[in-house]
């Protein structure tokens, strides 16, 4: 029986209409004929909502959409049965491409999205608060023009223990370099490249990652900090200590969506009343399940269920 859960809202300021396709060889010059094309509604928060939905959780996806590509994006979301609240965004919703060649290499191309005027950002902020649930996940990049402190302002309005953030660019830099005690995040998630760039050094092993995560918690960036380590799983630091969860080895089809699958499963476990260790294990299983699927597909329930018991969790320093 599936546990009852508290409501979840995912927020996607900068969604994308995702194209995945194959090409025999990626090279400059000739026309490249794509095959196996597939369109998916994407963007950080959208993918988090899709992962939660795939794991039979309840979620409302707040999405900023505009133009013809935004209409297509919404139709695809509705076709998948995901409850959606649409905010009217300026311009056309951006597109992104994940092209895989016969050698297995994957090329990922993304557009930045249209610039938001100050009034649009303010209206979006108010609309998110009007739809806010017990847990709010702000995931993905921000459109140009959105204030870098958008997440901090949202955390301050929502209050403690509610906002989970997985972002990038100036918004992430703002969170790390200018933490505010009154706007402390509930959870901040970073991928390995982001964590190493912010640390200024390679995080060569789990101990390095653990130390950096603890530093961010101590500086008041978030109550809990989760740092991904690719195939080596994830590290979570918080008030209960530092934990590392490693997934089993799986056959990698595409790395697209692994982080969003992690965040969706992690959030769902918390919403169902699980502790942080349980959330870390479910998130790790979901990320591993996501790389087993092709193109821009996310985790599947049957794969997550199969992988969960094989995810190795241990406390650092214990």
Catalytic residue among 18, 92, 260, 303: 260
8 A C-beta contact, residue 34 and residue 23: yes
What per-residue confidence (pLDDT) applies to 3? Answer: 61
* CATH code for residues 8-23+35-315: 3.40.1190.20
Q: Residue 9 has which token pair? A: 């809202």
Q: Which of 143, 214, 142, 156 is nearest to 185 (CA)?
A: 156
The predicted pLDDT at position 1 comes to 40
149 catalytic? Reply is no
Is 123:94 a contact under the CB 8 Å cutoff?
Answer: no
DSSP 4: P
The CA distances from residue 151 to 179, 187, 315, in Å, are 11, 12, 30
Closest to 48 measured CA to CA, from 60, 37, 36: 60
pLDDT tens across 178-205, in order? 998 888 999 999 999 999 999 999 999 9
Contact (Cβ atoms closer than 8 angstroms) between residue 60 and residue 131? yes
Q: Which stretch of DSSP H or E encloses residue 108?
A: strand 106-110
- Given a cut of 50, the residues of the chain with pLDDT beneath it are 1
Decide if 143 contacts 113 (C-beta within 8 A).
yes
């Amino acid at each position: 029986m599936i546990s009852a859960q508290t409501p979840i809202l995912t927020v996607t300021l900068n969604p994308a209409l995702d194209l995945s396709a194959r090409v025999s060889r990626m090279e400059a010059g000739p026309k490249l004929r794509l095959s196996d094309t597939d369109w998916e509604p994407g963007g950080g928060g959208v993918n988090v909502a899709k992962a939660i939905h795939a794991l039979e959780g309840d979620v409302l996806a707040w999405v900023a959409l505009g133009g013809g590509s935004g209409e297509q994006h919404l139709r695809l979301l509705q076709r998948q049965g995901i409850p959606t609240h649409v905010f009217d965004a300026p311009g056309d919703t951006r597109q992104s491409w994940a092209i895989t060649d016969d050698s297995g290499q994957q090329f990922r191309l993304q557009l930045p999205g249209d610039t938001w005027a100050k009034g649009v950002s303010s209206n979006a902020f108010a609309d998110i608060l009007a739809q806010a649930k017990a847990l709010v996940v702000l995931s993905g990049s921000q459109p140009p023009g959105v204030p870098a402190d958008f997440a901090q302002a949202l955390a301050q309005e929502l209050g403690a223990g509610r906002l989970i953030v997985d972002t990038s660019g100036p918004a992430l830099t703002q969170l790390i370099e200018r933490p505010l005690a009154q706007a402390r995040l509930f959870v901040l998630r970073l991928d390995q490249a982001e964590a190493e760039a912010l640390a200024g050094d390679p995080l060569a092993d789990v101990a390095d990652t653990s130390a950096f995560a603890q530093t961010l918690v101590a500086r008041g960036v978030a109550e809990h900090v989760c740092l991904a380590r690719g195939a080596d799983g994830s590290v979570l630091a918080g008030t209960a200590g530092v934990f590392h969860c490693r997934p089993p080895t799986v056959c990698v089809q595409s790395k697209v969506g692994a982080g969003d699958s992690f965040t969706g499963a992690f959030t769902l476990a918390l919403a169902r009343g699980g502790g942080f260790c349980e959330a870390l294990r479910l998130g790790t299983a979901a990320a591993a399940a996501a790389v087993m699927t092709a193109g821009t597909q996310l985790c599947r329930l049957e794969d997550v269920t199969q992988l969960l018991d094989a995810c190795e969790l241990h406390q650092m320093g214990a």
